[in-house]
């Protein structure tokens, strides 16, 4: 079977179909518009395995008729994020000479589907985790499963405040949330077609709060570091993508994905810079361990107090207190509401290695490579199905986590 190229084509197409149906987040809900820019053919040569994604900032607005307030118009400022093919996963199967003669249809359900389903779940879980870690907005009560629509309404409001597009929006929710919402909704809605379907299937799905809801088994947990109390800003007037804090001792940990607010630092309207009445939320972007009594925390978004690109009402004051979401050393499941443009992904087919029989499949949904190599000593053939992908957060403020 493995030496027949047409069989490789069948396996690749079947595998891609299973991947696509098993992972809606990466196959249907993400922005994939920059995928074609990676490894593009230009003048007979291929570009690299990454591409820079431009993220334009809002512009400045001036009063009166005098151009640029009497000064020079500022240069256009664009942020950049790298979309890099750095996620490489594969499924692996070894067959004996007897098993190779099996019928392809039977092989699809008996062997291929469980292998690809596992691969799909692993890929999707990795990308959702990256999305969550890049998202600073959080609503809900840590340790409590949301049971009312109000929590999701708060997530919708968080997106609105950051001027995220109203349509489409998606929400990935856990099965625990599904249980609570189905139970809570039975007293809130009339038995129309969608609600009737909810009662029959036990699934809270469809549109709510302007978003399409999907039950998802691949939602990540974020574990807090061991230090969440008595942390304060060390030095005033700090701006940028890091924040020096004190109140720590050597060995204190802060984990990627933790969210905190700073006393006196409020969120702002992205276009006007006007302060909202809620504190700005920041997310830690890399695991960090203190080695002295102070430590620099890498954060998103960067602290910027001037337009355009203003993200916070003011720079943190010296000794201002940090308040973290959740308890120390505790893991919390993260649901996610977002717009497709908040994150982007790309898939490419790895090349077939010399000496292997194989097939590269690259369709609109998924890209993968199936290739086989044999062992004449044991009369076995090993087949691997490789997926190479990249993920980047483009506008993390256009997503909102719902903690439970």
pLDDT at 48: 61
Q: pLDDT tens for residues 119-178?
A: 888 999 999 999 999 999 999 999 999 988 999 999 999 999 999 999 899 999 999 998
> Which of 67-81, 175-189, 190-204, 242-256 shows the lowest mean pLDDT across its residues?
190-204
d(C-alpha 343, C-alpha 102), whole Å = 41
What pLDDT does residue 16 have?
80
For residues 94 and 2, the answer to whether their CB atoms sit within 8 Å is: no
Burial 53-66 (b: 16+ CB within 10 A, else e): beeeebeeeeeeee
- What is residue 292's predicted lDDT score, i.e. its pLDDT? 97
Q: What's residue 218's pLDDT?
A: 92
Lowest pLDDT segment from 41-45, 217-221, 224-228, 319-323 = 41-45
Lowest mean pLDDT of 41-55, 103-117, 134-148, 260-274, name the range.
41-55
Q: What is the pLDDT of residue 161?
A: 96
Q: How far is it, in rounded angstroms, from Cα 378 to Cα 97?
A: 9
Rounded to two decimals, the pTM is 0.86
pLDDT in tens, 365-388: 678 888 888 888 888 888 888 988
pLDDT in tens, 74-114: 666 667 788 888 999 998 887 766 665 566 566 667 777 78
Least confident stretch, 225-239, 292-306, 337-351: 337-351
78 and 57 in contact (C-beta within 8 Å)? yes
pLDDT recorded at residue 206: 64
pLDDT tens-place string over residues 309-332 = 899 999 999 999 999 999 999 999
pLDDT at 32: 84
Length of the chain: 404
């Amino acid at each position: 079977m493995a030496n027949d190229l047409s069989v490789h084509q069948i396996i690749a197409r079947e595998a891609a179909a299973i991947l696509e149906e098993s992972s809606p987040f990466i196959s249907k809900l993400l922005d994939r518009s920059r995928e074609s820019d990676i490894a593009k053919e230009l003048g007979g040569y291929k570009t690299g395995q990454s591409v820079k994604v431009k993220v334009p900032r809002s512009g400045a607005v001036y009063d009166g008729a005098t151009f640029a307030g009497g000064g020079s118009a500022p240069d256009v400022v664009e942020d950049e994020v790298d979309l890099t093919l750095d996620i490489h996963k594969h499924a692996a199967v070894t067959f004996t000479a007897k098993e190779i003669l099996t019928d392809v249809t039977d092989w699809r359900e008996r062997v291929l589907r469980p292998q690809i389903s596992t691969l799909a779940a692993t890929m999707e879980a990795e990308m959702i985790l990256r999305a969550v870690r890049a998202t600073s907005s959080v609503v809900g009560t840590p340790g409590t499963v949301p049971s009312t629509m109000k929590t999701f309404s708060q997530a919708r409001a968080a997106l609105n405040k950051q001027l995220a597009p109203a349509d489409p929006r998606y929400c990935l929710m856990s099965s625990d949330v599904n249980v609570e919402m189905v139970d809570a909704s039975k007293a809130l809605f009339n038995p129309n077609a969608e609600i009737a379907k909810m009662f029959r299937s036990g699934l809270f799905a469809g549109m709510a709060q302007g978003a399409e809801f999907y039950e998802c088994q691949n939602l990540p947990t974020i574990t807090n570091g061991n230090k969440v109390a008595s942390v304060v800003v060390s030095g005033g007037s700090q701006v940028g993508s890091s924040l020096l804090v004190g109140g720590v001792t050597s060995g204190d940990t802060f984990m990627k994905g933790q969210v905190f607010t700073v006393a006196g630092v409020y969120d702002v309207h992205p276009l006007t810079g006007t302060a909202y009445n809620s504190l700005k939320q920041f997310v830690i972007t890399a695991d960090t361990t203190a080695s002295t009594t102070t430590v620099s925390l890498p954060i998103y978004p960067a602290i910027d107090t001037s337009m355009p690109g203003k993200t916070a009402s003011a720079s943190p004051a010296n000794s201002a207190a940090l308040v973290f979401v959740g308890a120390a050393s505790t893991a919390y499941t993260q649901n996610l509401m977002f717009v497709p443009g908040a994150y982007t992904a790309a898939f490419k087919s790895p090349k077939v290695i010399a000496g292997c029989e194989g097939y590269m499949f690259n369709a609109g949904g998924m890209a993968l490579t199936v290739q086989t190599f044999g062992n004449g000593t044991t009369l076995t053939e090993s087949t691997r199905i490789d997926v190479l992908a990249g993920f980047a957060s483009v506008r993390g403020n256009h997503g909102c986590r719902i903690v439970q």
